[in-house]
Amino acid sequence: MYHPNEKNVDLERDYLPSMHSKRFQDQPNPDLAVIENHLKLCAQHTNDLVTKHGVKVETLRYAGVDDRQVVDVYCKPEANNGKLFVYVHGGYWQEMDKEHSGSIVLPLVKRGYRVAVMEYNLCPQVTLTQLLDQFTQFLLWVFDYAERTATTEIHFAGHSAGAHLMAQLFHVPQLISTERRQKVKTVFFMGGVYDLRELWPLKGVNPNNLLSLDANNCNELSPMLWPWHADSASWAGTQSYVLTAENESVTFKEQSREFAKLLQEAGFSVSFKLFDRYDHFDIIEECVEDDSTITQYLLAALGKATK
């Protein structure tokens, strides 16, 4: 589908981002090594926020009882500039958590942002349909929280499966008032998957159908197939960025490219960027570094939004 000029594409491999990194080639299983490194680094970055950098963290519940519907809000004790940055992790809707999601936080809190790192129920505890509904409730919580905390601007970012969930922000405009939409300044879609039609039968991505997908509901859950023409004018003040990496599969890169094109044709303000050198994982890992290419790009985009 995203290889129009090729036949016999190995979709199992194309939908596994770890197979396309150029790192750890000296290891017996480079694909496993890149994942192990990612989890280790991101957990260390998250732990360092409190233990090494003195960042304050507050865990809040946005829905549910005794489950993963919580969010960690990070800030410097003296910070109160009215800027909120919301981050949603990836993991194919079935892995990772907020303890592995802190890499993006430090450069932002140093500049006065409060950063909300979302955790969510994973499949198969919930179906992907239920997860998307729960994500809608999280979005409503974010806007309620913003009002309670005198937030003047909100920025969103989602990585991988988190970018897929983030598309729901524009898909439920009837639930978000015009006044609330005006607070949303930037949305970053990072390394996302936006079309599930090829994905759902793949054993490597969806073993034993733990996502509870079929040929019908995968269409309903694919942002690439949603009716984006409606209500885009009300998001005129929001700049979206669809980001991908050189060392991703053709499918992942083309899904990002096509998703950006779709949003643009629907009337949204959107930029597409393919980053040289990065893969699906270090584009997040290097967010911890002030002078990395990805951090500098994010900060520049945020700077434009606040001018």
Q: What is the DSSP string of 70-115?
A: EEEEEE-TT--SSEEEEEE--STTTS--GGG--TTTHHHHTTT-EE
Query: What is the structure's pLDDT at 3?
Result: 83
294: nearest Cα among 150, 157, 165, 180: 157
Burial class (CB in 10 A: 0-12, 13-18, 19+), 119: buried
Digit-coded pLDDT (tens) for 186-219: 999 999 999 999 999 999 999 999 999 999 999 9
The residue behind tokens 């963290």 is 57
Burial class (CB in 10 A: 0-12, 13-18, 19+), 23: middle
pLDDT classification of 304: cutoffs 50, 70, 90: confident
Query: What is the structure's pLDDT at 240?
Result: 97
Query: What is the structure's pLDDT at 230?
Result: 63
Residue 5: count other Cβ atoms within 10 Å of its Cβ. Answer: 4
Rounded Cα–Cα distance for residues 237 and 63 (Å): 29
Query: What is the structure's pLDDT at 42?
Result: 98
Q: Which residue has the higher pLDDT, 56 or 178?
A: 56
Rounded Cα–Cα distance for residues 189 and 132 (Å): 16
Query: Does residue 174 carry a pLDDT above 80?
Result: no
Digit-coded pLDDT (tens) for 53-84: 999 999 999 999 999 999 999 998 776 689 99
Percent of the chain having pLDDT more than 90? 87
Digit-coded pLDDT (tens) for 126-171: 999 999 999 999 999 999 999 999 999 999 999 999 999 999 999 8
For the chain, the helix, strand and coil percentages under 3-state DSSP, each to the nearest 5: 40, 20, 40
Query: What is the structure's pLDDT at 67?
Result: 96
**In this structure, are residues 93 and 84 in contact, taking their beta carbons and an 8 Å threshold?**
no
Q: Peptide bond before 124: cis, by omega within 30 degrees of 0?
A: yes
Q: Report H helices in the chain.
A: 11-14, 30-51, 106-109, 128-148, 161-166, 168-171, 178-181, 217-220, 250-265, 282-285, 293-305
Rounded Cα–Cα distance for residues 106 and 273 (Å): 23
Mean pLDDT of the chain: 94
Query: Does residue 185 carry a pLDDT above 70?
Result: yes
- SS3 of 41-53: the string is HHHHHHHHHHHCC
Across 239-250, average pLDDT = 97
Rounded Cα–Cα distance for residues 303 and 101 (Å): 23
19: nearest Cα among 279, 295, 220: 279
Query: What is the structure's pLDDT at 234?
Result: 84
Q: Which residue has the higher pLDDT, 27 or 306?
A: 27
Q: Which residue has the higher pLDDT, 306 or 153?
A: 153
Map out the domains of the chain with their CATH numbers.
Answer: 11-305 (3.40.50.1820)
239-247 and 184-190: which strand pairing? parallel
Across 175-185, average pLDDT = 89
Rounded to two decimals, the pTM is: 0.96
pLDDT classification of 242: cutoffs 50, 70, 90: very high
